[in-house]
């Protein structure tokens, strides 16, 4: 097996769904893959005079920063799997390695 060099970096998975954040976190924790969840919360008031009115819109967005490092033969399959899962493959942990 040829090794071409060590690579490292981060990939970011973005979602607005808290349940998806929990599923991704469970998968990454099951695989012992380091990550960090970043949250952006926004609140817009529709009535500038009465900022506490019920006429407000709020939203939360989440970015999951996944730390990756290793030889390409190790990082490549993991990156491929994360991309496939992010594009509809689901986040349920399974017995794949």
DSSP state of 85: I
**pTM confidence score:** 0.75
Return the pLDDT at 10. Answer: 92
Return the pLDDT at 33. Answer: 92
Residue 46 has pLDDT above 50, yes or no: yes
Return the pLDDT at 93. Answer: 74
**SS3 of residue 68 by DSSP:** strand
Residue 18 has pLDDT above 80, yes or no: yes
Return the pLDDT at 51. Answer: 61
CB 78 within 8 A of CB 66: no
Residue 2 or 17, more confident: 17
Strand order in the sheet with 35-45: 7-15, 56-70, 35-45
Task: Extract the tokens encoding 19.
Answer: 């349940």
Q: How far apart are CA 47 and CA 62, in angstroms?
A: 27
Contacts of 23 (CB under 8 A, 6+ apart): 91, 92
Residue 45 or 87, more confident: 87
Return the pLDDT at 95. Answer: 46
Return the pLDDT at 34. Answer: 94
The β-bridge partners of 67 are 10
């Amino acid at each position: 097996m040829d090794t071409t060099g060590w690579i490292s970096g981060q990939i970011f998975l973005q979602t607005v769904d808290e349940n998806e954040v929990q599923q991704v976190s469970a998968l990454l924790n099951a695989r012992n893959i380091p990550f960090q969840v970043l949250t952006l919360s926004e609140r817009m008031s529709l009535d500038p005079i009465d900022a506490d009115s019920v006429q407000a819109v709020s939203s939360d967005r989440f970015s999951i920063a996944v730390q990756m490092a290793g030889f390409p033969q190790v990082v490549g399959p993991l990156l491929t799997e994360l991309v496939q899962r992010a594009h509809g493959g689901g986040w349920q942990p399974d017995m794949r390695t």
